[in-house]
Amino acid sequence: MIMEVGTRQMLRTCNCYGTSIIHYAAKVGNTRALRVLVDKDPEIVQFKEAASYTALKLAALRGHRETLCYLLEVTEDVYTDPQISPFYGYNGADLLCHTITAGLYDVALYLVKMYPDLVTEVNISSKTGFQTLAAKPNAFQSGSKLGFWQQLIYSCELSSQSSLYSRILICGHLETYFSMH
């Protein structure tokens, strides 16, 4: 059905709530549909729904790793204007906070490495990424209430993850980032 849609305007059409097809695809984690949509209209990833959420932010909010990584690959960095850039100002802070809240710490670390100013930016709720992370005690081994066996398994899981690089490579598109650094 999407392949038959001929005009960009049809892809950009919103419902009465201001949500378009790309926002729905991001909300449900439909990366395959997003690829088709972005192939038809690459600029569609920059569009915000009525609540000022881009598809990128919605994927982070819902914790869809594959979708988020794909959208990070195709979303243009509009660094000239912090009000519309998805990676700076409160938009970038929102993205980082949603990524942390969803438990996608490797992607959050990637965002911080690419955009170091994000760690001090405040989001729409006046919170920083650090505050969001600090509010998640289970993100730290010392803050989790694991029994002896769970701690043992947890430590084995950590040692079996060879490095952040191999975890982030799950996102596929980030390979070029590591080849540059």
pLDDT of amino acid 19: 74
pLDDT of amino acid 139: 64
pLDDT of amino acid 117: 86
Widest pairwise Cα distance in the chain: 59
pLDDT of amino acid 123: 86
d(CA 157, CA 34): 32
pLDDT of amino acid 108: 92
> Which candidate, 133, 153, 152, places its Cα nearest to that of 143?
133
pLDDT tens sequence across 66-79: 999 999 999 888 76
d(CA 120, CA 127): 9
Q: What is the dihedral of CA 100, 103, 106, 107, to 10 degrees?
A: -60
In the predicted model, residues of the chain with pLDDT beneath 70 are: 1-6, 8-9, 12-16, 18, 50, 79-82, 137-181
Length of the chain: 181
Question: pTM for this structure?
Answer: 0.72
> Which candidate, 92, 99, 101, places its Cα nearest to that of 123?
92
Residue with tokens 């695809």: 25
pLDDT of amino acid 63: 94
In the chain, the domains with their CATH numbers are 1-74 (1.25.40.20)
pLDDT of amino acid 40: 87
Asked whether 11 and 39 are in contact (CB, 8 A), the reply is no
The DSSP secondary-structure symbol of 2 reads G
